[in-house]
Structure 1
Amino acid sequence: MTFNELIAHVSGKTGMAKEGVKMILETSIATLTEKAIAGEDATLPGFGQFKVKDVPARQGRNPSTGATMDIPASRKVAFTPAKALKDALKA
């Protein structure tokens, strides 16, 4: 599903104008991004949880040369689906 398809689907289900739905979705994504940058987790009940995780620096290998290389520490966002979402997928 593309972003535009999501906008059209939500607009059709709610009767809201597509412009309003687009603004709500963009604001929601921007808010989740701000929280992730701040290192905060975000939970969407019934859907899942977005957690910010720190990945420590480590040694790796260059796949083409086999040479050892340093991989710097980084942060990533991990998604854990809610039980309701998992159960819906099993049905």
Structure 2
Amino acid sequence: MNKDELIERVAVRSYLTRAEAFRAVEAVFATIGDAAIRGEAVSINRFGIFSVKSCSAREGRNPRTGERILICPTRKLVFRASRAMKDLLLGEERSDPIELDPR
């Protein structure tokens, strides 16, 4: 699924116009990105946690020449699925299904 398909599905499931769904999806991504820049974790109940992982500098090798190189320290955005999401992926039933208001 790409971003356009995600926006379309959000619009259908939440009874929004495509433009409203676009703004909602953009706002969610921007908020997660802003939190990541500040080094904060974003925890979404029954879905998972987006957090920032710091990787220290390390030594590596150039695969072409075998020469040793220094790999600079970096930060990565990581996602850890919640227990409920892992259960869904395994096909196990949940006692608290996610339902939307049918309006």
* Aligned structure 1 segments of 4 or more residues deviating by more than 2 angstroms: none
How far residue 44 of structure 1 moved from its aligned partner, in angstroms, is: 1.0
- Over the aligned positions, Cα root-mean-square deviation in angstroms equals 0.7
Q: Which runs of 5+ in 1 are unaligned?
A: none
CA–CA distance in structure 1, aligned partners of residues 72 and 22 of structure 2: 37
Q: Identical aligned pairs, as a percentage?
A: 36
Matches within 5 A, 1:1-91: 1-91=1-91
TM-score between both structures, scaled by the size of structure 2: 0.85
Q: Which has the higher helix share?
A: 1
Deviation at 1:72, TM superposition (A): 0.6
CA–CA separation in structure 2 for the residues paired with 1:65 and 1:11? 51
Q: Give the TM-score of the pair, scaled to structure 1.
A: 0.96
Corresponding pairs, count: 91
Q: Tell me, which stretches of 5 or more residues in structure 2 are unaligned?
A: 92-103
Take 2:13 and 2:56, find their aligned partners in 1: how far apart are those partners?
44
